[in-house]
């Protein structure tokens, strides 16, 4: 459950509804804590739903492909409230872009870091507050349908292979008909020569994900399953054909896990995708001077 200490704030929000009775400091803190608990419960409920339903799990991966920079808890909340969201911003962010939020729409509630506080044991914690964001479809923006990524496959493969967790070597064939495989004895990723671009991206994304988890000693039930899911997310994120992926075994994979275990698996998947996407972005979108900073993702 997200931590928060509302007594850090001296006053209630200035934009409280007119005529609404003023709450005591204690009642205000209790109200805000109840709201956070409810949102946290929604995330917990959602993670168990996707763990028990292969279709929902794949739909969650689609959401993750668009919001891999958000925390696992927030991607769950986005999926629970608006799974088809494609681009988010709070009221002020849209206003800065000259875009208005449509009247009467319901925002997507997520968590964002608040103020630091000192725990009883002397350590420093960060409070979590609820933030409302809105999808582009809930705004006055003209181009509400965000186009699929359109990049040359050679450029995408170059980005995927940048700073790989293990050397990549072309080979003529591999056993079992696979397109790529991590050779642990040699410490290299072997890739079959002659595949088309999309096939190469799919299998290479899976092996790069797998080796990254091995090198980082990521603790998941099955690194192969997580790498397979990460490959799907990376394909969806970069406009690569992902129709051949099948997650019918997802419920069996998560069977017997409690909420904490499921959240750990989701976090490992998100971190794996985020790490590879970050390396790819440095190739695809090199940082520019005076570029505006990104909104905090929570």
Is pLDDT of 147 > 90? no
| Token duo for residue 227 | 């790498």
Domain boundaries, the chain: 6-138, 153-284
DSSP state of 106: P
pLDDT classification of 151: cutoffs 50, 70, 90: confident
The rounded distance, in Å, linking the Cα atoms of 192 and 181 is 9
Q: Tell me the pTM.
A: 0.85
Each residue's pLDDT tens digit, 246-261: 999 999 999 999 999 9
CA 138 to chain centroid, in Å, comes to 21
pLDDT classification of 13: cutoffs 50, 70, 90: very low
Q: Compute the 3-state secondary structure of the chain and give helix, strand, coil in percent, each to the nearest 5.
A: 45, 15, 40
DSSP state of 294: P
Cα diameter, the chain: 76
Looking at residue 120, its pLDDT comes to: 81
The rounded distance, in Å, linking the Cα atoms of 163 and 199 is 20
pLDDT average, residue stretch 73-102: 96
The rounded distance, in Å, linking the Cα atoms of 40 and 25 is 23
CA 103 to chain centroid, in Å, comes to 28
Is pLDDT of 8 > 70? no
pLDDT average, residue stretch 218-238: 97
CB 190 within 8 A of CB 181: yes
116: phi then psi, degrees, rounded to nearest 5: -80, 150
The rounded distance, in Å, linking the Cα atoms of 252 and 48 is 13
The CATH label, of 1.10.287, 3.30.2010, 1.10.1060, 2.60.120, for the domain at 153-284 is: 3.30.2010
Each residue's pLDDT tens digit, 163-218: 999 999 999 999 878 999 999 999 999 999 999 999 999 999 999 999 999 999 99
The mean predicted confidence, pLDDT, of the chain is 88
Is pLDDT of 14 > 50? no
């Amino acid at each position: 459950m997200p931590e928060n200490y509302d007594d850090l704030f001296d006053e209630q929000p200035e934009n409280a509804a007119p005529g609404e009775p003023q709450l005591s400091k204690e009642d205000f803190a209790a109200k805000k804590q109840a709201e956070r608990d409810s949102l946290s419960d929604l995330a917990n409920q959602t993670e168990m739903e996707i763990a028990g339903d292969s279709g929902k799990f794949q739909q969650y991966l689609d959401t993750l492909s668009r919001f891999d920079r958000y925390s696992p808890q927030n991607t769950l909340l986005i999926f629970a409230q608006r799974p088809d969201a494609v681009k988010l911003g709070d009221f002020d962010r849209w206003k800065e872009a000259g875009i208005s939020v449509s009247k009467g729409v319901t925002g997507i509630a997520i968590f964002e870091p608040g103020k630091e506080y000192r725990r009883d044991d002397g350590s420093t914690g960060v409070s979590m507050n609820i933030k409302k964001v809105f999808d582009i479809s809930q705004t006055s923006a003209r181009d509400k349908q965000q186009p699929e990524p359109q990049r040359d496959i050679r450029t995408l493969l170059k980005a995927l292979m940048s700073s790989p967790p293990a050397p990549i070597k072309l080979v003529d064939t591999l056993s079992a008909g696979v397109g790529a495989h991590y050779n642990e004895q040699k410490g290299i990723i072997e890739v079959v020569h002659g595949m088309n671009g999309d096939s190469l991206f799919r299998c290479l994304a899976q092996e790069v994900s797998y080796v990254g988890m091995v090198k980082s000693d990521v603790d998941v039930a099955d690194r192969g399953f997580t790498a397979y899911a990460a490959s799907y997310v990376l394909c969806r994120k970069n406009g690569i054909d992902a129709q051949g992926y099948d997650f019918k075994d997802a419920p069996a994979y998560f069977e017997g896990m409690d909420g904490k275990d499921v959240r750990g698996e989701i976090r490992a998947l998100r971190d794996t995708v985020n790490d590879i996407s970050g390396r790819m972005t440095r190739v695809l979108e090199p940082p520019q001077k005076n570029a505006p900073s990104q909104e905090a993702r929570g």
